[in-house]
Structure 1
């Protein structure tokens, strides 16, 4: 009997630990790991559907993080006596060629929940339909396995609290699977290939690291596991997570595991395993529970997108709303995107995003609310800008949260944030605003959050002329709230 060969297609699961697709592949005599840089994930793309627009699919920050993550995965595989084949091209075209070259019997992969990702999976499966190669998908992007949900996917609740309570009561989290012994590559393996450069992937802007950022966010499983070790164990920050998670400045006010979770460098089950180990050895409290709570929020949107499909990407969202008049205004969009709205709390967050690829959850909620509710610009365009810029972009979490804020997603209420009130609550001394909006560094906190309220005399006193040194507000905030109440 001839030796069996499995091809394992790495996607957003760039890790060796807790990787069911890799474990299954390792039942074969030979394993060929492959990663494809799909051109559809880079460059300018059309959003598609009604009221479409152009946007850059993957910006500098995530492209860098992904390249580093793939590099780290290749290094780890080499340490285990294997390697990672790198290809640039559509997986449905690339993978059959690799499989034919190595005479593969099986292709294993992780399935993902959004329609765009599932379309690629379907194309790959179709490409192997006549090749006598079995395609085996695995679920590994969530804390709770899809097969362990206490209800059918079609019956997953559309409200988080109902979902969370059901899962907490009835769905135990599976243990992470260990790293397997990885069989060697077959002798007929083709050239492993080289990684593309960052410029090859097409981000229009090459940015140097910004030392004002909260964390460097180095890509890869090695860096992700080191972050877990640093945050939970070395820094002992988990015990106060619930109290500090809404911070704005600093590396450790929140876990910041999201870039590694979303690119698959960390498994949510492995993070949960560390939380439980911490609870057993140090302390179990509201903060340790709250990290699990946030992992379940992430799960909630993954299952919501698996349930609702493309509806989440429509203007009216899963609620099919037609009563909101979404606007298109390129000038207002550019002022928001570049952090020049004249609303300091919004501008600070957008400048941090552009410079580093990251902003806090509190910042995302306020920047999104301002865009969708105060400006009433098409919320999908704002979400697409986040898709471009975020180092920790995940389609379900990003578009799910934007739809939620815009009033077309998983909440029957109209949700909006009082931006100045939020700024005062979470940045009372304006340290965050001043950190990112240097024009306002010399203002007292009250005026740093509302510079338009300064008199001409005060503007002269502090050396900040509104409309010259710092923009006048793009919208009258108070008036813009009236239509929302």
Structure 2
């Protein structure tokens, strides 16, 4: 019996372990609901709702192939041991997973159990991330080669006389209440519809609209949760994008530029996950050790709560956080801005706000998430410290104040001229500290102090030596000329990476 263990690859299309297993004999398609995983600090009910909808979709797709998904709940090793005792496990198949520290330790336990009990475990590459990579040299070429391979076709499966099991809900898993009324729905059918609408209509303005929290919600692909949980494969999205690019190659410049930008984001999706694959410790430790102790590891509880709830008194930051809480999604530039605000202006160690964002993101992908959290906190040692000016960002990205007015209705009486800095409004006394808080920090002063602290660490040869080692191990090999914003207070290195 060939057991195919589904994890973050909840699809039958372009699923090579499933195809290869079916060539060897009867297949038991398995998903294990791990209570301990879902009690981790980076997991949330909104994520489980999305996953459970993907599981229902996967079960239906597998049933059409001949054998529905089998769901079991508990510790994976115990589930596998039970299947082996019942004669239902000879070979284990799965995709490789670059997940959290918890799943990494879990997979090491599974590998040890398989070795002890003589069960071959075939782990296959899932997307562009390469396990055991010795050097980043040539990584981009390997990515292109992998993405150009033909997609695996779903195989026919032999039916098994086996109880399929129940897909639990959040209450069953004792997950904390998590109100997210505008969350995206899970499942492959919805994911394919999202891909189609992006490539055929919504994506036309992607390149210029992706930075806006207003327009980006429509113009960005919104495929990130379907890729994070594997309802769609990166390969099929890449190939669909290439086909669409070819169709507009000689006709529409705006479409060409947008689809080219989107292709770059697919590369960077895997590039950032590769960082966690090569250095799992970056989920927990500063990438550059010179930043150890620069911030207190224990957060200021009041500041963290204000930031998490969208009550900092900085309207644009609060609007972004409230939008994220309600939708489970935020465009990349705003993700960077809210994380930078927590790290620099509020001077919080990145781990606590990083965990909060992980819970808020339906599309939480550990590799991308922790790499970006550290990048936006200035602790990588190889990236420019991006200290966003949250007021200027609001003026630039929400010039009419529509986004702030939607998510911070307490400011409805504030004139649009002052919507991003209401403390300057004539009627500020009637609003601030009554229906909306005063800013928890002076954002300009806080930015100056943070800049001094973060750059002070970078002096000296010891810092440079470790930074070179980090660049060699985790950095991109493609050189790009940095472009800076006009404002000194908002200086940042614009990387070709945005929310996909």
2:52 is the alignment partner of 1:87? no
2:7 is the alignment partner of 1:38? no
Question: Given the superposition, is the C-alpha separation of residues 276 and 348 from structure 1 closer, same or farther in structure 2, using an over 3 Å criterion?
Answer: same
Helix, strand or coil: the match of 1:35? strand
Helix, strand or coil: the match of 2:167? coil
Deviations 1:413-437 (A, max 9, x none): 3221111111111111111111111
Question: Given the superposition, is the C-alpha separation of residues 417 and 22 from structure 1 closer, same or farther in structure 2, using an over 3 Å criterion?
Answer: same
Distance 2:174 2:125 in 1: 30
Instruction: Give the match for residue 244 of structure 2.
Output: 278
2:110 is the alignment partner of 1:124? yes
The 8 Å contact of residues 62 and 68 in structure 2, kept in 1 or not, is answered as yes
Helix, strand or coil: the match of 1:382? helix
Instruction: Give the match for residue 185 of structure 1.
Output: 159
Instruction: Give the match for residue 413 of structure 1.
Output: 384
Distance 2:64 2:97 in 1: 28
Helix, strand or coil: the match of 1:207? coil
Instruction: Give the match for residue 155 of structure 1.
Output: 135
Distance 1:104 1:254 in 2: 43
- Cα displacement (A) at 1:107: 0.6
Instruction: Give the match for residue 400 of structure 2.
Output: 429
Distance 1:64 1:176 in 2: 31
Deviations 1:165-207 (A, max 9, x none): x668x756233423232321344x3x21111122112222153
- Cα displacement (A) at 1:481: 1.2
Q: Of residues 57, 82, 86 in structure 2, which corresponds to 1:101?
A: 86
Question: Given the superposition, is the C-alpha separation of residues 145 and 358 from structure 1 closer, same or farther in structure 2, using an over 3 Å criterion?
Answer: closer
Instruction: Give the match for residue 220 of structure 1.
Output: 187
Deviations 1:315-339 (A, max 9, x none): x224552362236210111111111
The 8 Å contact of residues 370 and 417 in structure 1, kept in 2 or not, is answered as yes
Question: Given the superposition, is the C-alpha separation of residues 106 and 167 from structure 1 closer, same or farther in structure 2, using an over 3 Å criterion?
Answer: closer
Aligned residues: 443
Instruction: Give the match for residue 213 of structure 1.
Output: none
Q: Of residues 31, 53, 66 in structure 1, which corresponds to 2:51?
A: 66
2:245 is the alignment partner of 1:245? no
Instruction: Give the match for residue 487 of structure 2.
Output: none
Instruction: Give the match for residue 267 of structure 1.
Output: 233
Helix, strand or coil: the match of 2:72? strand
The 8 Å contact of residues 348 and 437 in structure 1, kept in 2 or not, is answered as yes
Q: How does 1:307-326 map to 2 (within 5 A)?
A: 307-314=278-285, 316-322=286-292, 324-326=294-296
Q: Of residues 365, 368, 373 in structure 2, which corresponds to 1:397?
A: 368
Question: Given the superposition, is the C-alpha separation of residues 474 and 145 from structure 1 closer, same or farther in structure 2, using an over 3 Å criterion?
Answer: closer
The 8 Å contact of residues 129 and 273 in structure 2, kept in 1 or not, is answered as no
Using the size of structure 2 for normalisation, the TM-score is 0.83
Instruction: Give the match for residue 8 of structure 1.
Output: 4
The 8 Å contact of residues 6 and 30 in structure 1, kept in 2 or not, is answered as yes
Distance 1:325 1:132 in 2: 48
Using the size of structure 1 for normalisation, the TM-score is 0.86
Distance 2:150 2:189 in 1: 17
Please report the RMSD computed on the Cα atoms of aligned residues, expressed in angstroms.
2.2
Name structure 1 gaps, 5 residues minimum.
46-55, 211-215
The 8 Å contact of residues 102 and 186 in structure 1, kept in 2 or not, is answered as no
- Cα displacement (A) at 1:238: 2.9
The 8 Å contact of residues 180 and 327 in structure 2, kept in 1 or not, is answered as no
Instruction: Give the match for residue 21 of structure 1.
Output: 17
Instruction: Give the match for residue 300 of structure 1.
Output: 271
Question: Given the superposition, is the C-alpha separation of residues 447 and 328 from structure 1 closer, same or farther in structure 2, using an over 3 Å criterion?
Answer: same
Farther off after superposition, 30-39 or 18-27: 18-27
- Cα displacement (A) at 1:410: 6.5
Question: Given the superposition, is the C-alpha separation of residues 306 and 318 from structure 1 closer, same or farther in structure 2, using an over 3 Å criterion?
Answer: farther
Question: Given the superposition, is the C-alpha separation of residues 145 and 300 from structure 1 closer, same or farther in structure 2, using an over 3 Å criterion?
Answer: closer
Question: Given the superposition, is the C-alpha separation of residues 69 and 94 from structure 1 closer, same or farther in structure 2, using an over 3 Å criterion?
Answer: same
Distance 1:441 1:362 in 2: 25
Distance 1:94 1:256 in 2: 34
Deviations 1:303-358 (A, max 9, x none): 111111213421x2245523622362101111111111000111111111222212
2:439 is the alignment partner of 1:468? no
Question: Given the superposition, is the C-alpha separation of residues 176 and 390 from structure 1 closer, same or farther in structure 2, using an over 3 Å criterion?
Answer: farther
The 8 Å contact of residues 63 and 201 in structure 1, kept in 2 or not, is answered as no
The 8 Å contact of residues 246 and 254 in structure 1, kept in 2 or not, is answered as no
Distance 2:81 2:339 in 1: 41
Q: Of residues 171, 194, 197 in structure 1, which corresponds to 2:166?
A: 194
- Cα displacement (A) at 1:300: 1.0
Q: Which runs of 4+ in 1 moved over 6 A?
A: none
The 8 Å contact of residues 31 and 69 in structure 2, kept in 1 or not, is answered as yes
The 8 Å contact of residues 373 and 484 in structure 1, kept in 2 or not, is answered as yes
Instruction: Give the match for residue 484 of structure 1.
Output: 450
The 8 Å contact of residues 300 and 348 in structure 2, kept in 1 or not, is answered as yes
Question: Given the superposition, is the C-alpha separation of residues 59 and 145 from structure 1 closer, same or farther in structure 2, using an over 3 Å criterion?
Answer: closer
Question: Given the superposition, is the C-alpha separation of residues 224 and 103 from structure 1 closer, same or farther in structure 2, using an over 3 Å criterion?
Answer: same
The 8 Å contact of residues 176 and 273 in structure 1, kept in 2 or not, is answered as no
Distance 1:99 1:177 in 2: 31
The 8 Å contact of residues 176 and 270 in structure 1, kept in 2 or not, is answered as no
Farther off after superposition, 469-478 or 410-419: 410-419
Instruction: Give the match for residue 130 of structure 2.
Output: 146
Distance 2:178 2:280 in 1: 34
